[in-house]
Structure 1
Amino acid sequence: MAKQIEVKELLDSGVHFGHLTRRWNPNMAPYVYMERNGIHIINLYKTVAKMEEAGTALAKIAASGRKILFVATKKQAKEIVSQQAERADMPYITERWPGGMLTNFVTIRKSVKKMAAVDRMKKDGTFNSLSKKERLQVDRMKAKLEKNLGSISDMTRLPGAIFVVDTMREHIAVKEAHKLNIPIFAMVDTNSDPREVDYAIPSNDDASKSIEKVVSYVADAIIDGITSRKEEKKEKAEAKDAKETKKAEKAQEVKEAKEADEAKTPKAEAKATPEKAAKAEDAKASKEESAKSE
């Protein structure tokens, strides 16, 4: 399982700092511990509980073989999210959210395939046959697609869940996931509505240290899920090999037993032959004697 999270670690990372009291969302009241200098302080014990709950759920999704899409386009979260998502081998969006990314996934996949088509053109030499202007246009198109969609090139189907940093900023992603019933995990600050997501982690979504602490924990949970999936596959493969080996050994034993029986049969017949011959001679002799007496 992911490393046990401590309240002190979250405190040191500033996870407890919420927004100004005048900007809060009343639905976050259960997660607010107190008010200090006009700022809401988040209850970190509840944050720990929610992180563990989200981590367990994400590990299960990862163990099932589904992808978790990370979404964070705010400046202080981009680099952190991209690093952690890559570490967990998961797709991510850190540039502008492409409209219809989830609800119109087929079209998005076509755009991703365009990048692959350009790569093929460069490999087979077709690219060099284009005019200078056409090559420039193709390169610009590829660069634009790579910037916006390069991080999801391996995502061949809709994700099993999305993880969002700041639901207020990524409201379009949240709405699209809602439409498709895709589970939503998110860092939710005191100005957000936790009811919009399935797994809300009450935390400061503005400070880079806070974002790194939460996202790294999430990535660890996902990696644990992937590892358990690999171990389960390995165990199944070993069990299958053991079963096949046992079956082969049993077949070999049956074969050897059959060969042994076949080897014994001629000896038995050979042993029985003199006895049969003696009996046949006695029967012949008795028959001759009876014929003479008559």
Structure 2
Amino acid sequence: MAKLEYKDLLDAGVHFGHLKSKWNPKMAPYIFMEKNGIHVIDLNKTLASLDEASHALRNIARSGRKIMFVATKKQAKGIVAENAKNLKMPFVTERWLGGMLTNFATIRKSLKKMSGIDKMMKEEAYLNLAKRERLMITREREKLERVLGGISDLTRLPAALFVVDIKREHIAIKEAQKLNIPVFALVDTNSDPTLVDYAIPANDDAYKSVELLMGHIASVIEEGLMERKKDKEDSKMKEEENKKRAADKGEKVKEGASDKE
């Protein structure tokens, strides 16, 4: 993984915050200065926070648990969806359904319904339905896909959330807090960083800023997944070696017994 440098953040405009009039005083420790009425984020703090968050996210990925990405704002949704798909991680980029975490059992029912429709659409009976009925089923499938498509493979609650714009995604954050699910987030100068476990001070409005930081986070998680794969391979190899040793030992014991006879 290529480590991000100060200049990378500067070039992507990660340091641009909101107007001074829109700031949240709790962001004061992360603000470097004010220029032309706009707050400038301290990029040294961004790099330090990014390192801390990256270490924790890598460990979660290495443990085999899921990280759910949440970003419904226009500038971020495409970037987040693409990175999450590449990592095979769940994501929400259309609309956060209330209870998506706190009422996960109900969400699971909707996911099963979507799976059931998929199965039915492959059967001959579906083709024999009236055109209007098929259209209704297709529309229902599209609606479910739009809202739940990003979490279709999620079988249990995620181990962490990664959020872009905590003001916009406040419902998701509240649900995660209720369930003690750690939240990682890009936090702009108009937000309260104390609401999340790992706040990364950054411009969460500019496409380039979100693209750079999401790309970095994705590469960190990918590292964790690769390490997990290697751990599994090493464990399997060790197991096979132990079996071989046990078999060899058994053979020697057998030989010793036959010598005595």
Aligned-residue offset at 1:16: 0.3
Q: Which moved more, 1:129-138 or 1:74-83?
A: 129-138
Partner-residue secondary structure (3-state), 1:126 = helix
Offset at residue 142 of structure 1 (A): 0.3
Find the counterpart in structure 2 of residue 185 from structure 1: 184
Residue 51 of structure 2 corresponds to which residue in structure 1? 52
Structure 1 CA distance for aligned equivalents of residues 89 and 161 of structure 2 = 10
Q: Structure 2: which 5+ runs fail to align? A: none
Deviations 1:91-132 (A, max 9, x none): 111101111111111111111111110121122323123222
Once residues 152 and 161 of structure 1 are traced to their aligned partners in structure 2, the CA distance between those partners, rounded to angstroms, is 14
1:154 counterpart residue number: 153
Q: Report how far residue 193 of structure 1 moved.
A: 0.2
Larger helix proportion of the pair = 1
CA contact (8 A) 1:112 1:149 kept: yes
Quote the residue 1:11 is aligned against: 10
1:41 offset after TM fit, Å?
Answer: 0.5
Cα distance, 1:21 vs. partner? 0.5
Report deviation, 1:214. 0.9
Shift, 1:241, TM fit? 0.5
Q: 1:261 deviation in Å?
A: 3.6
Distance 1:37 1:70 in 2: 34
Structure 1 residues without counterparts, runs of 5 or longer: 263-294
Query: For 2:174 and 2:246, how far apart are their aligned partners in 1?
Result: 54
Within a 5 Å distance, the mapping from 1:1-294 to structure 2 comes to 2-262=1-261
| Partner deviation per Cα, 1:57-77 (whole Å, 9 max, x = no partner) | 111111111110000001011
Deviates more, 1:226-235 or 1:70-79: 226-235
User: What letter corresponds to residue 8 of structure 2 in structure 1?
Assistant: E
Query: Residue 122 of structure 2: SS of its match in structure 1?
Result: helix
Q: CA deviation at 1:197?
A: 0.3
Q: Counterparts of 1:36 and 1:231 in 2: how far apart (Å)?
A: 48
Shift of 1:259: 3.0
Say if 1:84 and 1:216, in contact at 8 Å, map to a contact too: yes
Deviation track 1:172-207 (CA, whole Å, cap 9, x = no partner) reads: 111111111110000000000000000000000000
Partners of 1:216 and 1:258 lie apart in 2 by 63
Amino acid paired to 2:248: E
Shift of 1:256: 2.4
- SS of equivalent to 1:69: strand
How far, CA to CA, are the matches of 2:6 and 2:83 in structure 1?
21
Structure with higher Rg: it is: 1
Runs of 4 or more consecutive aligned structure 1 residues displaced over 4 Å after TM superposition: none
Q: Which position in structure 2 is the counterpart of 1:279?
A: none
Q: TM-score, normalised by structure 1?
A: 0.86
Counterpart of 1:136, as a letter, is L
Distance 1:40 1:121 in 2: 55
Contact 1:88 1:220 in 2 (8 A): no
| Identical positions, percent | 56
Q: Which amino acid aligns with 1:243?
A: N
In structure 2, distance between residues paired with 1:165 and 1:195: 15
TM-score of the aligned structures, taking structure 2 as reference length? 0.97
Partner amino acid, structure 2, of 1:125: E
C-alpha contact 1:103 1:176 (8 A) present in aligned 2: yes
Counterpart CA distance in 1 for 2:36 and 2:200 is 23
Which deviates further from its counterpart, 79-88 or 39-48?
Answer: 79-88
Instruction: Look up the equivalent residue of 2:179 and give its one-letter code.
Output: L
What's the offset of the Cα at 1:249?
A: 0.7
Corresponding residue for 1:292?
none
1:246-282: CA deviations, max 9, x gaps?
01011112222333443xxxxxxxxxxxxxxxxxxxx
How many residues align? The count is: 261
